């Protein structure tokens, strides 16, 4: 069974928050009003969040698909307890 770690989603949230805050700070140098800066920073933060969320979900789906399809090849046999999987003799 393939499960997702919550660390991935926490990192998406942290990155989104940092990007939104830095955008808001950079827009402070403009002549825009307060609500225009907040709205633009929020829109950019949401775009970053959607992009990162899509990337994380698609990578997890691909990883789980590969793990389910080829998991039996990647795991060595436990027979022999430490013997190499292929013997030259």
87 lies in some domain: no
Q: Give me the number of domains the chain comprises.
A: 1
88 lies in some domain: no
b/e for 46-77, b at 16 or more Cβ within 10 A?
eebbeebeeeeeeeeeeeeeeeeeeeeeeeee
Question: Average pLDDT, stretch 11-23?
Answer: 93
Q: By residue range, what is the domain housing residue 35? A: 6-69
Token code pair at residue 78: 């436990």
33 lies in some domain: yes
37 lies in some domain: yes
| pLDDT for residue 36 is more than 80 | yes
Question: What's the pLDDT at 25?
Answer: 93
| pLDDT for residue 60 is more than 90 | no
């Amino acid at each position: 069974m393939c499960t997702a770690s919550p660390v991935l989603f926490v990192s998406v949230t942290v990155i989104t928050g940092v990007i939104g805050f830095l955008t808001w700070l950079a827009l402070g140098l403009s002549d825009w009003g307060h609500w225009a800066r907040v709205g633009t920073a929020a829109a950019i933060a949401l775009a970053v969040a959607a992009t990162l969320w899509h990337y994380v979900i698609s990578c997890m789906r691909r990883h789980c698909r590969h793990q389910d399809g080829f998991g039996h090849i990647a795991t060595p046999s436990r027979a022999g307890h430490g013997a190499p999987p292929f013997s030259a003799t």
